[in-house]
Amino acid sequence: MTKSDNLVRCGWVGDDAEYRHYHDTEWGVPLKNDRAIFEKLVLEGFQAGLSWITILRKRENFRRAFDNFDAETIARYTTKDVERLMNDAGIVRNRAKIEATIENAKAFLKLRERTTLKKFLAGHLLQGSVQNQAQALTDVPASTELSTRISKALKKEGFRFVGPTTVYAFMQSSGMVNDHLVGCFRHGECARLQKDAWRA
Residue positions in the annotated binding site for Zn(2+)?
A: 10, 23, 180, 184
Active site residue 39: no
Residue numbering of the annotated binding site? 10, 23, 180, 184
Q: Which of the residues 19, 27, 39, 44 is marked catalytic?
A: 44
Active site residue 52: yes
**DSSP string of the chain?**
-EEETTEEE-TTSTT-HHHHHHHHHTTTPPP-SHHHHHHHHHHHHHHTTS-HHHHHHHHHHHHHHTGGG-HHHHTT--HHHHHHHHT-TTS---HHHHHHHHHHHHHHHHHHTTS-HHHHHHTT-TTSSEE---SSGGGS-S--HHHHHHHHHHHHTT--S--HHHHHHHHHHTTSEE-S-TTSHHHHHHHHHHTTTT--
Q: Which of the residues 12, 26, 52, 189 is marked catalytic?
A: 52
Active site residue 22: yes
Q: Which of the residues 22, 99, 103, 189 is marked catalytic?
A: 22
Catalytic residues: 22, 44, 52
